[in-house]
Amino acid sequence: MAILSALSISPDLPVMSVKELAAKLGEPQTKLYRHVRQLEEAGLIRVAATRMVSGIQEQRYQACQRDVRLSPTMLRENMGEAEVAIQALLDEFRDGVLAATLRESEERPVFFLSEKTLAPATATELRRRLKEIDDWMDELPEDPDGVPVNLMMGLYADAPQA
């Protein structure tokens, strides 16, 4: 998730080598090669360019899309990996919030946390409305002179209490 995030941080989907990714993520290059290969095999990233560096051909990677959605089936069947993926997403969002908090700006991060017991139909309607916001965000055109916005939404329902 950290690799995908690094390759999806701007509207133009940056192109980076494994060496550049390692420097950005603070990880050793050797640790990333296997993960980059897995992401490429899964079709989540692609080789976007190659160049010669000190007589060695270097591959530069780019994300294939801006958004990644984790299916409930994948989460259930791979609980350990799912936990790591969710933690990486939360860590990335936390780091962005902290960086935004330190910047001098009128626009400070805002959070909403709600906990209610809802009728099943109301919970379904809430999910539909959140999906509408997500779809709307996906449809908005990128504005090169605009303000970068990061939005994280989550919804889960606890099992009914016995």
Split at pLDDT 50, 70, 90, the class of 157 is: confident
In the chain, the domains with their CATH numbers are 2-63 (1.10.10.10), 69-110 (no CATH), 112-140+149-155 (no CATH)
Cβ contacts of 6 within 8 Å, gap of 6 or more: 14, 16, 21, 24, 25
pLDDT (mean) for 91-116: 82
Tokens coding 37 = 């290969």
pTM of the model: 0.58
Alpha helices in the chain (DSSP H): 2-6, 18-25, 29-41, 72-77, 79-102, 120-139
Split at pLDDT 50, 70, 90, the class of 160 is: low
User: Could you write out the DSSP letters of every residue in 106-152?
Assistant: S-------------HHHHHHHHHHHHHHHHHHHHSPP-TTS------
Q: Which backbone phi and psi does 111 adopt, to 5 degrees?
A: -130, 145
Q: What is the mean pLDDT of the chain?
A: 83
12-37 residue pLDDT tens: 678 899 999 999 888 999 999 999 99
Tokens coding 80 = 């350990």
CA 132 to CA 117: how far, in whole Å? Answer: 22
127-147 residue pLDDT tens: 899 989 988 988 888 888 888
Which residue type does 114 have? S
